[in-house]
Amino acid sequence: QVQLQESGPGLVNPSQTVSLTCTVSGGSITTNYYYWNWIRQPPGKGLEWMGAIATDGSIFYSPSLKSRTSLSRDTSKNRFTLQLRSLTAEDTAKYYCARGEHLITGGILNRDDYDVWGQGTQVTVSS
């Protein structure tokens, strides 16, 4: 059974950069064809898609975040990473990684759109 686990620093100062990692167990990020996504949920708001890496290594970014976001993966460690730069308080959210069979780049996201989710990691931007 595939499981995802996010990790990150928790508290970050404004203007800094945060790196979050999603470690995948029970399956490989390079087999079959899936999209490995980063999704966040600010307090009191809905889910926001941030970007994804496909099984073949193709990378997709949300247009609204593309200038501040970088995605990468380490296939030897079966994990993928989100880097978000120039943080502000508006980036405070719970960040999730999730696996999906289809690429969904916007609109109203539902948890059912993805078949495996991590538990999420809280990122708070504050001085």
pLDDT for residue 106: 79
Per-residue pLDDT, 107:
77
For the chain, list residues with pLDDT below 70: none
The string over 4-43, giving b where at least 16 C-beta atoms fall within 10 Å of a residue's C-beta and e elsewhere, is bebebeeebeeeeebebbbbbeebebeeeebbbbbbbeee
pLDDT value at position 76? 97
Structure confidence by residue, pLDDT tens digits, 8-37: 999 999 999 999 999 999 999 998 899 999
The pLDDT value given to residue 88: 97
